[in-house]
Chain A
Amino acid sequence: MDIDRRNLLDGPGLVTAAANPPIRPSTRSRPRPDARRRFHQQPAPRAGEARSRLMTKLSHILFATLALAAAPLAAATAAGPAVQATDAWCRATPTGALAGGCFVTLTAARADRLVAVSSPASNHGEIHTMEVVDGVMRMRQLADGIELPAGQPVALRPGARHLMLIGLKGPLQAGDHVALTLRFQSGTQMTLQAEVRAAPRPARAS
């Protein structure tokens, strides 16, 4: 996406009305220009910890192997999936809209983190949060994804955290279904069929 890259670096777009103080990123959502780092960066090793790190790594590998082996079984047992997803839906988009919001409620059996979303309906997927503060709408990408505490349902919903489909290949029309692939820090990956619904009334702005 050369165009996006160029836009991202463009200066003149960064404008605030002179009569207003410049908007500051909210403390809750630090801007992360280098969002891709999270996939590559490991904490710097410390000399004395090499041995224990090796052990940890081995135990991780062992655990991962067991988890992988157990995965097909898990689906068939009463233990249930690692992350349960309910009420997945996307907001119907107007013709010409190139971005759309999707929502889902996630419950992780063990503490986990939603780290990525993708869909065949769009070129890209991002995890965003949104808020209206003093009449100003602020949207931020959550580069660290969304924390999922063990056993606790986390609801993504309009006016708050949501999945953002960027570069829609066509409008999302009410009644259609959109495949959403969610990736979690644990390595779990799932594909959902999200129903496209006409926009509900948003909660009144507080």
Chain B
Amino acid sequence: MTRLRIWALVAALALAGGVLGFVLYARMTAQSTAAQDPGGAFSMVDQDGRPVTEADLRGRPTVMFFGFTYCPEICPTTLSDLTTAMASMGPDADRLNVVFVSVDPERDTPAQLKLYLSNFDHRIRGFTGTPEQVRVIANAYRVLYLKVPTEYGYTMDHTADLYLMDRHGRFVGKLRYGAGPDGTAEALRRLVRGQSPVPA
């Protein structure tokens, strides 16, 4: 009888240990996945020269796009898609942060960003900073950028995806370049509603 009880206790402990181990393992895995997701701390200035950090974006979902104002095609196309999408969303668009981050801080001063963004929806904000600040935010978002010399200056290679973040600053998904105004509007609507993005 006593022996049976001891065995039962051992079995129960083993089971509990197994469950605990599994839970811990699952949590660690989840954390390490989260640690690899784009997003995190940064310190930049906006188009009005005001300092901004990741804390300023909390409370609303965020769409973040990296580019530069010398960019002849990708950036104006994406910004114009965002503008069209935001116009089609009505007041829902007010519940979003839409941010254009420069990867070319040498040329993109706050004033240059402000002038450039005046062509698009006025709710789109522009972030720039020192080369080091840009490096930090690009690292946080796993964004790739590279200065490429040309005969008369340079151009920038850069990640063209849009980063979708929830209101806590957590990564939700990416929207690939070329989604168009309708695809962009759909992604933005889902983001506002807290739905997961349509898989690319």
Contacts and interface: CB of A to CB of B under 8 A. Distances in A.
Contacts of B144: 16-17, 20, 23, 136
B42 interface: no
A7 B180 contact: no
B158 interface: yes
Interface stretch (B11-19, B111-119, B165-173): B111-119
Contact of A33 (B116, B143, B149): B149
Contacts of A33: 149
Given A101-B73, A136-B160, A96 B112 contact: yes
Interface stretch (B24-32, B131-139, B188-196): B131-139
Given A31-B149, A166-B152, A96 B115 contact: yes
Interface in B42-87: 69-74, 76-77, 79-80
A141 B150 contact: yes
Interface size classification for chain B:
35 or more
A19 B141 CA distance: 10
B77 A199 contact: yes
A14 B146 contact: yes
A96 B112 CA distance: 7
Nearest to B158: A137
A23 B143 CA distance: 11
A109 interface: no
A124 interface: yes
Q: SS class of chain A's interface: helix, strand, loop or mixed?
A: loop
B148 interface: yes
B131 A202 contact: no
Most buried by A among B69, B152, B154, B161: B152
B152 A167 contact: yes
A17 B142 contact: yes
B1 to A, nearest CB: 60
Contacts of B178: 132, 202-205
Interface size classification for chain A:
35 or more
Contacts of A202: 73, 77, 178
A156 to B, nearest CB: 12
A46 B143 CA distance: 50
Contact of A100 (B72, B80, B104, B142): B72
Nearest to B119: A94
Nearest to B113: A96
A84 B166 CA distance: 53
A138 B73 CA distance: 11
A201 B180 contact: yes
Given A12-B131, A13-B147, A91-B73, A132 B177 contact: yes
A25 B146 CA distance: 10
B106 A10 contact: yes
A143 B157 contact: no
Contacts of B77: 199, 202
Interface string B79-121: 1100000000000000000000000101100001001101110
5 contacts: A17-B145, A18-B139, A98-B69, A123-B152, A166-B150
By Cβ-Cβ distance, the 8 closest A-B pairs, closest first, are A205-B178, A96-B115, A94-B119, A13-B147, A96-B116, A4-B153, A124-B152, A141-B150
Interface of A: 1, 4, 7-8, 10, 12-20, 22-23, 25, 31, 33, 35-36, 91, 93-101, 123-124, 126, 128, 130, 132, 135-141, 143, 158-159, 162, 164, 166-167, 199, 201-205
